[in-house]
């Protein structure tokens, strides 16, 4: 399947489930570029935002704000890694600003209003998602980027602005906290070994 713009030029072509964009059309600031960004990054940005705000509707609004910031940016990127890192870093910053806003501190979450995101998950997946969402932000972000979005430690370090060793430490500590939550704390043997 091929999509064309109103002037008849090729916008994108889908082959075997992959969308390939014409270099001519997917230039920063064009309609083709916007479509490329939406197709490539929108779900990743929404999922990342959801780990912060824990509400699908707010996550979608923040993702939209990220795309508006991209349009206002006014210049392209060095490469796709720079583009991806900029989008995710912008999303993280907007989520933090959203959580700091006075409006959020004065609102009350409706019961199960955003449960449609977790309805499709199995019971075990829902438990894991809830455990990840209950982690402190510094662990939640790196675990989400590593396990849900598949970024390497090096890529995560660029996205969150921390050293790769720090990201590795955060991942290890986050995994340990998740294990304790999912298993129910330390085993009796581990408590005895640690002198507890």
Domains in the chain and their CATH numbers?
Answer: 1-110 (1.10.1740), 121-189 (1.10.10.10)
48: which DSSP letter?
H
If we measure between CA atoms, which residue out of 119, 168, 137, 170 comes closest to residue 49? 137
Angle between helices 31-53 and 80-100 (to 10 degrees): 40
Name which of 56, 145, 58, 143 is nearest 95 in CA terms. Answer: 58
Give pLDDT tens digits along the chain (196 positions): 344 444 444 444 433 333 444 444 467 767 788 888 888 889 999 999 988 888 888 899 999 999 889 888 878 788 888 888 899 999 999 988 888 876 655 554 544 444 444 455 576 767 777 788 788 888 888 888 888 778 889 988 888 888 999 999 999 999 898 888 878 754 544 444 444 4
CA 28 to chain centre: 22
Looking at residue 165, what is its pLDDT? 94
Q: Where are the beta strands (DSSP E) in 122-192?
A: none
Measured at the alpha carbon of residue 150, what is the angle toward residues 147 and 156, in degrees to the nearest 5?
90
Strand partners, 13: 2, 20
pLDDT, residue 34, reads 81
Give, in order, the Cα–Cα distances in Å from 91 to each of 18, 44, 106, 120: 25, 10, 22, 25
Residue 34: is it exposed, middle or buried by C-beta count within 10 angstroms (0-12/13-18/19+)?
A: middle
CB 141 within 8 A of CB 92: yes
What are the structure tokens assigned to 196, written together? 């507890």
Chain mean position to CA 130: 16
Give me the residue label for tokens 């989008």. 87
Could you count the other beta carbons within 10 Å of the beta carbon of residue 62?
A: 25
């Amino acid at each position: 399947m091929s999509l064309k713009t109103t002037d008849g030029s090729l916008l994108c072509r889908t082959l075997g489930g992959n969308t390939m964009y014409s270099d001519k059309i997917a230039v920063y600031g064009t309609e083709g570029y916007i479509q490329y960004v939406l197709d490539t990054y929108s779900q990743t940005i929404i999922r990342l935002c959801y780990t912060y705000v824990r509400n699908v509707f707010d996550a979608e609004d923040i993702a939209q704000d990220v795309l508006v910031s991209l349009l206002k940016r006014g210049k392209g990127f060095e490469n796709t890694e720079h583009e991806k890192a900029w989008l995710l870093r912008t999303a993280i910053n907007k989520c933090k600003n959203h959580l700091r806003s006075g409006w959020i501190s004065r609102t009350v979450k409706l019961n199960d209003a955003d449960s449609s995101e977790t309805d499709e998950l199995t019971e075990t997946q829902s438990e894991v998602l809830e455990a990840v969402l209950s982690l402190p932000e510094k662990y939640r972000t790196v675990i989400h980027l590593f396990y849900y979005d598949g970024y390497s430690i090096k890529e995560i370090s660029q996205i969150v602005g921390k050293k790769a060793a720090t990201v590795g430490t955060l991942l290890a500590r986050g995994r340990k906290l998740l294990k304790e939550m999912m298993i129910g704390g330390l085993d009796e043997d581990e408590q005895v070994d640690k002198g507890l």
